[in-house]
Amino acid sequence: MGELKVFLQTLITGLAIGGVYALMAVGYSLVFSILNFSNFAHGVVIMLGAYFGYYMCTLFHLPISLATTGAMLGAGLLAIANEKLAYRPLRLRSAVPLYFMISAMGASMFLENMVYVTVGAHFFSYPEVFKGSLSILHAKIGLLDVVALCVSAVAITGLTLFLNKAKLGIAIRAASRDMTVAGALGVNIDKLLSVVFFIAGAFAGIAGVFLGVKYMVYPTMGWITNKAYIAAVIGGIGSLPGAVIGGIILGVVESFVATYVSTALRDVFSFSLLVVLLMVMPSGLLGKTLEEKV
Amino acid sequence: MLKIENLSVYYGKIRALNNVSLEVRDGEIVSLIGANGAGKSTLIWTVAGCIKPLSGRITLDGKEIPPLPHVAAAMGIGLSPERRRLFPNLTVRENLLMGAFLRNDKEGIERDAKAMYELFPVLAKRKEQYAGTLSGGEQQMLAIARALMSKPKLLLLDEPSLGLSPLLTSEVFRKITEVNQTGVTVLLVEQNAKKALKVAHRAYVIEAGRITMEDSASKLLESDHVRRAYLGVRGE
């Protein structure tokens, strides 16, 4: 029965990581679907989300649930500020997506270095939370993995409902196809983008806390978001279901490669998967062919 | 209702509208006819607040319309843009809801959506279908219905006949008259001058960014210049 046990453990770990990738990938996809550029500042928002959560836990001794809420708020507001300062001026001048991307990289470098200057390059670890494990069919499943999986699922389901049922959600989908006409119908585009960036940031906050708890908190932890970006591209960037599917696929593949092949080869596999997939399906799994863009 | 005074719009150094003045009175259908590139759409988008003019004033019931589209919409401008510009990823019903974005009276919105399905029965059958799957004629109906959902004081219609068969074009123009009879004021921009003049009370001719003629629609229909330039009638 050892085989099954390992398999099950690997699968759940993969799904949990995949869920966190999906949370991050959704942020890339939401922004891409409306502003048509890859928001490379998303990584630092996740990193700072992890710091926010960390300080709420250690300085204010908040329980992890409240710390996560705080991280969501903090990262959400940070993402709004990022939009207002780095992208809005470009938007008003109808700049091409390339300029947005360069501005995003600038914002990313600025914030990362701000962390070096203020907090320093130390590695911090969260206080131990979700330490226990569950036993399913003799497999030991980490509690953290289970929580990560559940929280990701709830957050993404909530977002899907919001986009499909709420007036503001429908407006976001409308603006993803035609921002000008959405504006002419009465949608305040500035406000709408604040909502979009807040959602992306709040999801980044959750992801940051999970990454911080699972690994460590440090200024360059945003690199993990490269993986989320890969997930978004695999799924078809701009597509919300695509981001989720891409995240899950990537998480599970990585987990299995780490268990059955080698940990060192894990990232080689992720990037190879991306390259091969893009050769076969240049717009990703659900890109373009899908009716729904967000 | 709508008053445009000495409006000039530039795209960079290119002048799109040159000192345009135009008026639409309560309850009227006013047509603006002109060739491709004459500045018709520019005028529509400027009234809708999407383009910032260099100079001139646009007022609705005496209040100036700022170059902010969501404010223009809130003031009572309803836009059915050229090429329809529906949201193809939204259903017919969701497109109508977007038209009513600024309204909060749920029951009123439901009632008006029903009224739209009655006015445009083709839409009623397709409520839950994505707008991208509709035919050209259906899309045009939906574009007009979407604009009407905001209960606009002034409906801006940009090229509603574009890409439609003559039969569907007639149908669309019949609907425009119907809508006007319910009390909605209409500013209609068209290349199909004959139809646009037949449906309108008054009309303007725009050429190279300037208003060159202005009269009642029936008089313009008989004008030699209009007949030669826009109705394809050869000189006698």
What is the per-residue pLDDT across A249-278, written as a single tens digit (0 to 9) for each?
Answer: 999 999 999 999 999 999 898 889 899 999
Q: How far apart are CA A72 and CA A69, in angstroms?
A: 5
Structure-token match 């200057």, residue found: A117
Q: Quick: pLDDT tens for B70-120.
A: 999 999 999 999 999 999 999 999 999 999 999 999 999 999 999 999 999
Tell me which residue range forms the domain holding A42. 2-280
Answer yes or no: do B89 and A171 touch at CB < 8 A.
no
Answer yes or no: do A291 and B98 touch at CB < 8 A.
no
Determine which of A168, A185, A188 to mutate to test the interface with B (most B C-beta atoms within 10 Å): A185
B144 to chain A nearest CA, in Å?
Answer: 12
Answer yes or no: do B50 and A167 touch at CB < 8 A.
no
Which tokens hold the place of A50?
């992890």
Please tell me if residue B82 touches chain A, with a CB cutoff of 8 Å.
no
Determine which of A172, A181, A193, A288 to mutate to test the interface with B (most B C-beta atoms within 10 Å): A181
A230: in domain: yes
B192 to chain A nearest CA, in Å?
Answer: 24
**Chain B residues with CB-CB distance to A182 below 8 A:** 87, 98
Could you tell me whether strands B2-11 and B77-80 are parallel, antiparallel, or unpaired per DSSP bridges? unpaired
A41: in domain: yes
Facing residue for B150 by CB, picked from A181, A186, A293? A186
Determine which of B82, B98, B128, B142 to mutate to test the interface with A (most A C-beta atoms within 10 Å): B98
Q: Decide: B231 and B35 in contact? Cβ < 8 Å.
A: no
Q: For chain A, how are helix, strand and coil distributed in percent, rounded to 5?
A: 75, 5, 20
A289: in domain: no
Q: Which fold has domain B2-230?
A: Rossmann fold (3.40.50)
**Chain A residues with CB-CB distance to B95 below 8 A:** 174
pLDDT mean across residues, chain A: 93
Answer yes or no: do B101 and A178 touch at CB < 8 A.
no
Judge whether residue A131 has pLDDT over 90.
Answer: no
CATH number of the domain that residue A100 is part of? 1.10.3470
Structure-token match 């809708």, residue found: B48
State residue A67's pLDDT score. 97
Shortest CA distance from A171: residue in chain B: B98
Confidence category of residue A225, pLDDT binned at 50, 70, 90: confident
A43: in domain: yes
Shortest CA distance from B75: residue in chain A: A186
Confidence category of residue A288, pLDDT binned at 50, 70, 90: low
Shortest CA distance from B47: residue in chain A: A184
**Chain A residues with CB-CB distance to B151 below 8 A:** none
Q: Quick: pLDDT tens for A112-127.
A: 999 999 999 999 999 9
Q: In what order do the strands lie in the sheet with B55-60?
A: B14-24, B2-11, B55-60, B63-64
Q: How far apart are CA B210 and CA B207, in angstroms?
A: 5
Facing residue for A180 by CB, picked from B50, B99, B130? B50
Answer yes or no: do A177 and B79 touch at CB < 8 A.
no
Confidence category of residue A1, pLDDT binned at 50, 70, 90: low
How many CB atoms sit inside 10 A of residue A163's CB? Answer: 20
Shortest CA distance from A292: residue in chain B: B89
Question: Which residues is A1 bridged to in the sheet?
Answer: none
Please tell me if residue B150 touches chain A, with a CB cutoff of 8 Å.
yes
State residue A222's pLDDT score. 85
Chain A with chain B: Cβ pairs closer than 8 A:
73
Confidence category of residue A290, pLDDT binned at 50, 70, 90: very low
Q: For chain B, how are helix, strand and coil distributed in percent, rounded to 5?
A: 40, 25, 35
**Chain B residues with CB-CB distance to A171 below 8 A:** 98, 101
How many CB atoms sit inside 10 A of residue B222's CB? Answer: 10
Structure-token match 């109906």, residue found: B141
Confidence category of residue A134, pLDDT binned at 50, 70, 90: confident
Please tell me if residue B209 touches chain A, with a CB cutoff of 8 Å.
no
Q: How far apart are CA A95 and CA A91, in angstroms?
A: 6
State residue A224's pLDDT score. 84
Q: Decide: B157 and B189 in contact? Cβ < 8 Å.
A: yes
State residue A293's pLDDT score. 42
A293: in domain: no
Answer yes or no: do A181 and B79 touch at CB < 8 A.
yes
Taking any CB pair shorter than 8 Å as contact, residues of chain A touching chain B are: 167, 170-171, 173-174, 176-178, 180-189, 291-294
- Domains of chain A: total: 1
- Domain residues of chain B, as ranges? 2-230
